[in-house]
Amino acid sequence: MAFTDVSVTFGQGKDTVQALDRVSLGFGRGSFISVVGPSGCGKTTLLHVLAGFQKPSSGRVTVGGTEIRGTGADRGVVFQQGALFPWMTVAGNAAFGPRMRGASRREREERAGHWLRVVGLWDFRDRYPYELSGGMQQRLAIARALANDPAMLLMDEPFGALDALTRERMQEELQAVWRSSGMTLLFITHSVEEAVFLGTDVVVMSPRPGRIVGRFPSPFAQDAATRGTRTVKSDQAFVALREQVLGLILEGAA
Ligand SMILES: Nc1ncnc2c1ncn2[C@@H]1O[C@H](COP(=O)(O)OP(=O)(O)OP(=O)(O)O)[C@@H](O)[C@H]1O
Ligand SMILES: [Mg+2]
């Protein structure tokens, strides 16, 4: 996956907002890319460009060497704000991707059921999204994206509405899924700790116009399964990297 000199400008004249300024960024298949940066710095815009929702004003984005020309089932998206189908049950939402692909009923039920269990929503499978809490809706959006088995998963603050305990559990689940699937992940978060814990690489963006101001390899993504989340997060090397990333963000804001 590669961004080459990607800029995005919204609006015209005095209302112009430059959301991204010549962003260049390349990652191999199977990377787990965490993106952090202050509110309004262009993180969602970056994700929308890769998803194919937003055309760059200039520059190009390629996946597997091919320039992207719109959305595709190879790139699953979990939006910052839930985009569930309110007229479908929880199970219906989770089975949506496989259904669009024309998967058999049996396969659809298996896939949806598996991911609903993983995110802890199996008991709510016959409910509707409005009957779920905000955090539960977010977990459903994650299950729905994963049920589609995308080669690349783009997640925009997916754990923002979760309580601390559920959030940590979901971090562990996501890491396990990523490790076993070979999927490439782009993960936006406001939590520096989460970014450092999950990512193989942490990308730091500056306030408007959004630029990449830092990129840190993080070794901890491979660690959690064997050493345990709490041990990793309190590790001295972990805390040092977390502070380094946070320092860069604060520096940019000053
Ligand atoms: N469709 C749009 N039309 C006009 N301006 C937009 C549009 N989308 C985003 N912007 C502007 O682009 C800038 C970057 O927005 P973006 O949503 O990418 O930020 P973000 O880093 O995701 O912020 P947050 O952390 O708050 O979600 C902002 O100034 C925003 O106002
Ligand atoms: Mg955003």
How many angstroms separate the Cα of 72 from the Cα of each of 51, 69, 197, 234, 247? Answer: 8, 9, 29, 39, 37
Report pLDDT digits (tens) over 119-145: 899 999 999 999 998 888 988 998 999
Q: Is the pLDDT of residue 225 over 80?
A: no
Identify the CATH homologous superfamily for domain 2-74+153-253.
P-loop containing nucleotide triphosphate hydrolases (3.40.50.300)
CA distance 155 to 32: 11
Q: Is the pLDDT of residue 212 over 80?
A: yes
What SS3 state is found at 77? strand
Best residue among 6, 7, 10, 154 to mutate for probing ligand 1, ranked by most atoms within 8 Å of CB: 10
Q: Candidates 41, 47, 188: which one to mutate for ligand 1, based on the most atoms within 8 Å of Cβ?
A: 41
Q: Could you tell me where in the chain the CATH 3.40.50.300 domains are found?
A: 2-74+153-253
The H or E element that residue 247 is part of is helix 236-253
User: What is the share, in percent, of the chain residues with pLDDT greater than 90?
Assistant: 72
- The chain-wide mean pLDDT, for the chain, equals 92
Kindly indicate the confidence band of residue 252, based on its pLDDT and cuts at 50, 70 and 90: confident
Q: What is the DSSP string of 126-193?
A: TS-GGGS-HHHHHHHHHHHHHTT--SEEEEESTTTTS-HHHHHHHHHHHHHHHHHH--EEEEE-S-HH
Mapped onto helix, strand or coil, the DSSP state of residue 1 is coil
Tell me if 55 CB under 6 Å of ligand 1: no
